[in-house]
Structure 1
């Protein structure tokens, strides 16, 4: 079904291009791939597309679809292809770069340079919707011309399309960029595009994530390390980042020598390992780091907390023997499941094996792949096999979490690395008193903490569980006569490490409640004459449930239990 959907998405992108050319004949075509949940096509057109244009294009697509045009694959020579594409400069550029015989997919008068696959006829393309217009540099390079990108989605039946569009509407309401501003969590500024500024409330959530991460990692036998942000070019040359990742790195000079701001934590963590001799008796050795990394991203791909230029990566490196590998993989899978479960997240697993270009012997790959596979199967976990999609340095397991809207996010990863131990000549003393190369496992669970926080804002729609909420309780006084008692309650809550605010504005209680609800506060405490007299509290939950006559002692006890349970 997934392959059919991929073909359908790709064919709908072609249908979009055909409709645009019919309505705007002078348009120059870019590329139009299928992507997760849909497709897009890039266009070079004199005037910007409008929302009205989008409606016209979608209508023309429906008209073409009904014609039941056969979609035919044809091989061409390069010279034949050049004639077909003579008025399409971007396509000619792609043709020149093509190493294989060009293939075209034709439907009616429209033909596009494409490797496919596609569905058999335009009639099969029924349930689609054009979603938005965006800008995109040709080939993703800011030195190239900015093209107009039209995004769309398509499904095999009407119900799936309807459900997806409903999900997109829900996602708009949960947009973490809007909620981040509404809840006063973070901002971005022109003085640092792509670099998030966390406000006090956002920092509370961030720190709660960090504290939770540290506590659970200590419990599972990890030791935390901290490595420098800036390291000299010799390290990055040895690790391969200087050669393979330079475009994504930031550089500086210190004492006339080249340095780089780290884009990854691994090389620094390896230096910690190399700083002393190791014995097999120490293994498995688990070194974890919440390391701040910087990566240069093009301005066009920056997207709130989802795509930033600096973020904290929750990396860990496990050094172990070959015999310990499978057990260690199982432990990481279980730890990852525990962490995701705390946030109410389900996940899917993907096992990626040896690609064509790789390092390490066939035997090393086979052993590592079997360890990953056996770990998954012994835990009775379903997984999807992705043959040939591993990293060049080793096989991996990826975790795709599902949020409350059913959207998939790749966060966690477990990777066996054959490259770094070789490059850095890592060793340990074995039980035979000889030097051996350790097995090295990279793993991240949350991935980027900033990105994970963005996902959680949308997952919870800003309604954080009590343990994560920046303000857990809002106290509201009816009038100034009860302010002394309201302040006393506030102090008691603060003494018990409850995050509390007092709204003593000269506003009505209904206005205060409404404002607290807009701020997604978990509990609202109303203090009036009745509460002062009885020495009790009136408590309203975020979902509107109201309780009267609650003692402060019971309220605090219930809050602490809810925080401890992380519910």
Structure 2
């Protein structure tokens, strides 16, 4: 078979980059089917016909383009790398006691064993409590956030920005656009590696792709930077609004969505040794962030060849030291044109016993050259850096999902104090104590504590129940006794304990528990009665 461009049938030709990607894809498919194939820059026949048996009119079609892409099934090989450094085929590995979570990952990813049909996840009702839900007037897979949910997702963004800023190398915060032109060769090539899960927008004579991470913008920007070996290592970071056309049947609120907020960082390294060193730094941070939530990761290491593992065994053993379990290794077949050599997926096992990818880190050897990113080394020569891609806590949606999934088994579920939209609710016993209660709430707000005042004409019991179901961390009831003693009656949701403490003691306790986390006020009226019912 000879494949070459044939332009005579169309009055609306595709651009060269798109056309070449189609021709190359045709060549690849033909070769996979065992057909001897050649690709030529031009042809020598004057006739081209497409025939479909039983449908002769098909020959009259004027536009030929790439149809809907069907994901090809890639034959991967799976192994388990034990703590002792032994590589065992995944289907022959004998699981030990205490490796139940690891077994779930191996069965799901390597052995194709699916768990039983699960009911609706319990965390969904938790999210809806805070106004986090699907937007029905948009495309499938797009979320919306009410005032409380919006605060939560914003706080998670501030939190991950704080984590990134604490890394032992400079990280530059950047911003940019979310649309990129497919006529740009680097964009088209990178997009072709991602596959068909992309939103494409037509604008005048241009075909634009909505970014699915921060890669396009950061690489397009950093190619214009003048870099010296003295500048390395460094990171670039953005919480990128990203778009992925996930299959509708796989969408899951807060986990698998089509529009997401990706706290995407790229770490630029001079060479492999520096890349391995910084990879270990990111690996540690990813694990420690999940451990702060009381969870442990089970990890899947994707490789484009076993040779990379064998040549860098010491590096892999250092990675393995930080893992709780052995690691599942997935080796892609030769010739699959991915830009990374190593891609780690960090999974939790959720409340329903499913492996769910949250954090990720990749070692990229291709995109610096593809986008023209260079630096000048000690000898004055231009070189391409190695790029590490990472989402330290996953997307903001998935990190939020993890937090809510964490609470499913709790008797008294409540958000971490630093993340809770309302930390303290002040409840007067009657209207007689409303003004004094208001003063307490105002003073707490002045201390950067998110407090509000339930001034509604309801019973104290009803107000307390409402605060409990709203997951308010501390409920402060003020009446005659509290005013005379100067002590507040404080009910803590997490422990269900009722204590007497001074206002200063309450402030100190909250400040201690939220130390090191972002602090931010929420834009809500002080009085509960002034808010709509959202």
TM-score, normalising length: structure 2: 0.68
Report the CA distance shift for 1:259/1:226 in structure 2 as closer, same or farther (over 3 A): same
1:465 aligned residue: 416
Report if aligned partners of 2:298, 2:323 keep a CA contact under 8 Å in 1: no
Report the CA distance shift for 1:205/1:212 in structure 2 as closer, same or farther (over 3 A): same
CA distance in 1, matches of 2:139, 2:289: 32
Can you give the 5+ residue segments of structure 1 that lack an aligned partner in the other structure? Answer: 1-96, 101-116, 118-150, 155-164, 357-361
CA distance in 1, matches of 2:74, 2:285: 45
Per-residue CA deviation, residues 42-81 of structure 1 (Å, 9 max, x unaligned), is: xxxxxxxxxxxxxxxxxxxxxxxxxxxxxxxxxxxxxxxx
1:354 aligned residue: 304
Q: Equivalent of 1:298, from 247, 251, 272?
A: 247
2:357 aligned residue: 410
2:475 aligned residue: 524
> What is the CA-CA distance between 1:371 and the residue it aligns to?
6.9
Report the CA distance shift for 1:302/1:381 in structure 2 as closer, same or farther (over 3 A): closer
Further displaced range: 484-493 or 290-299: 290-299
CA distance in 1, matches of 2:372, 2:475: 59
Q: Equivalent of 1:564, from 492, 515, 518?
A: 515
Report the CA distance shift for 1:527/1:473 in structure 2 as closer, same or farther (over 3 A): same
1:324 aligned residue: 274
> What is the CA-CA distance between 1:419 and the residue it aligns to?
2.1
CA distance in 2, matches of 1:452, 1:372: 28
Aligned residue for 1:346, secondary structure, equals coil
CA distance in 2, matches of 1:216, 1:247: 33
> What is the CA-CA distance between 1:373 and the residue it aligns to?
0.8
CA distance in 1, matches of 2:348, 2:381: 42
| Aligned-residue RMSD, C-alpha | 3.2
CA distance in 2, matches of 1:99, 1:551: 64
1:434 aligned residue: 381
> What is the CA-CA distance between 1:387 and the residue it aligns to?
4.3
1:208 aligned residue: 155
1:376 aligned residue: 319
Report the CA distance shift for 1:473/1:368 in structure 2 as closer, same or farther (over 3 A): farther
1:334 aligned residue: 284
Matched, 1:508 2:459: yes
Report if aligned partners of 1:412, 1:447 keep a CA contact under 8 Å in 2: yes
Aligned residue for 1:470, secondary structure, equals coil
2:331 aligned residue: 388
Report the CA distance shift for 1:355/1:377 in structure 2 as closer, same or farther (over 3 A): closer
Higher share of residues assigned strand: 1
CA distance in 1, matches of 2:219, 2:351: 37
> What is the CA-CA distance between 1:383 and the residue it aligns to?
3.6
TM-score, normalising length: structure 1: 0.64
CA distance in 2, matches of 1:236, 1:203: 37
Report if aligned partners of 1:235, 1:267 keep a CA contact under 8 Å in 2: no
Report the CA distance shift for 1:235/1:411 in structure 2 as closer, same or farther (over 3 A): farther
CA distance in 2, matches of 1:547, 1:331: 43
Aligned residue for 1:332, secondary structure, equals helix
2:145 aligned residue: 198
Report the CA distance shift for 1:279/1:456 in structure 2 as closer, same or farther (over 3 A): same
> What is the CA-CA distance between 1:310 and the residue it aligns to?
0.5
CA distance in 2, matches of 1:303, 1:232: 30
Report if aligned partners of 1:250, 1:296 keep a CA contact under 8 Å in 2: yes
CA distance in 1, matches of 2:311, 2:288: 24
Per-residue CA deviation, residues 222-274 of structure 1 (Å, 9 max, x unaligned), is: 22222211121234754524435463222334453222211222122111221
> What is the CA-CA distance between 1:451 and the residue it aligns to?
2.4
Report the CA distance shift for 1:414/1:297 in structure 2 as closer, same or farther (over 3 A): closer
Per-residue CA deviation, residues 335-385 of structure 1 (Å, 9 max, x unaligned), is: 1123222222211233332259xxxxx6xx468854751441565765414
Bigger relative CO (Cα 8 Å, ≥ 6 apart): 2
Higher share of residues assigned helix: 1
CA distance in 1, matches of 2:323, 2:405: 30
Per-residue CA deviation, residues 283-326 of structure 1 (Å, 9 max, x unaligned), is: 11211221111122333322212221100112111111222122
1:233 aligned residue: 182
> What is the CA-CA distance between 1:282 and the residue it aligns to?
0.8
Can you give the 5+ residue segments of structure 2 that lack an aligned partner in the other structure? Answer: 1-71, 76-90, 92-112, 519-534
Report if aligned partners of 1:538, 1:546 keep a CA contact under 8 Å in 2: no
Matched, 1:218 2:165: yes
CA distance in 2, matches of 1:339, 1:233: 36
Further displaced range: 411-420 or 182-191: 182-191
CA distance in 2, matches of 1:488, 1:428: 59
Report the CA distance shift for 1:282/1:185 in structure 2 as closer, same or farther (over 3 A): same
Report if aligned partners of 2:299, 2:347 keep a CA contact under 8 Å in 1: yes
CA distance in 1, matches of 2:350, 2:423: 23
2:527 aligned residue: none
Q: Equivalent of 1:251, from 200, 203, 222?
A: 200
Count of matched residue positions in the alignment of Structure 1 and Structure 2: 401
CA distance in 2, matches of 1:290, 1:400: 21
Per-residue CA deviation, residues 9-55 of structure 1 (Å, 9 max, x unaligned), is: xxxxxxxxxxxxxxxxxxxxxxxxxxxxxxxxxxxxxxxxxxxxxxx
